[in-house]
Amino acid sequence: MPRLLGILLLGTVYLTGVALAQHRIGYVDTEYILSRLPEYQAVQQRLDRMVRDWQAELDRRRQEIDQMFKEYQARELLYTPEERQRRREEIARAEEELDRLRQQYFGPEGELFRQQEALLRPIQERVLEAIETVARDEGYDYVLDKAAAPMLLYAPPEHDLSDRVLAELNVNLESKN
């Protein structure tokens, strides 16, 4: 009985290996694909501009708080104890507001995250649809992402579907070289 179980187990392993050997696996480089899409570049520039504006506002507020603190230090001895306390609380409120604003813009659920989601998702979905179309049309069972899969240690160029996906997205490759 154990011998029969061993033979069945070896047969199963062999058949699984044969089945896996028949799968076609291709890969794409989504960073390469996205960098070639004009609409992605436009969205990225828009996001970069938002980040610069928000960061400039945060920097301006930081300078204002630093100035409030310097003024407080310079005049601390002239203030009454109540005035010192009021000024410290004012600075602390300004610090809290700055932190709140930083979270509002750049936090995990912040405006940057929402904007990226709203602006990039349609482009990413379009790329995914093109990848699926190319994979189906060319008979690939699996498509890996070279940009997101650092474990892809070797990939022959003939299995790189990136340019075919760009062609599916109607991107002219000659003008981008």
CATH number of the domain encompassing residue 71: 3.30.910.20
Average per-residue pLDDT in the chain?
85
Note the pLDDT tens digit of each residue in 52-79.
999 999 999 999 999 999 999 999 999 9
Which region among 12-26, 31-45, 129-143 has the lowest average model confidence (pLDDT)?
12-26
Q: What is the pLDDT, as a whole number, of residue 5?
A: 36
In a domain, 6, yes or no: no
Q: What is the mean pLDDT of residues 44-51?
A: 96
Q: What is the mean pLDDT of residues 30-48?
A: 94
Q: Are 29 and 162 in contact (CB under 8 A)?
A: yes
Looking at per-residue confidence, does 2 or 163 come out higher?
A: 163
Name residues whose C-beta falls within 8 Å of residue 162's C-beta, 6 or more positions apart in sequence: 28, 29, 32, 33, 146
Looking at per-residue confidence, does 110 or 135 come out higher?
A: 110
pTM of this prediction? 0.68
Q: What is the pLDDT, as a whole number, of residue 11?
A: 44
Q: Show the domain range for 148.
A: 18-176
In a domain, 5, yes or no: no
| Cα–Cα distance, 7 to 52 (Å, whole number) | 66
- Name the domain count of the chain: 1
pLDDT above 60: residue 17: no
In a domain, 168, yes or no: yes
Q: Are 144 and 152 in contact (CB under 8 A)?
A: yes
Note the pLDDT tens digit of each residue in 152-161.
545 677 888 8
In a domain, 102, yes or no: yes
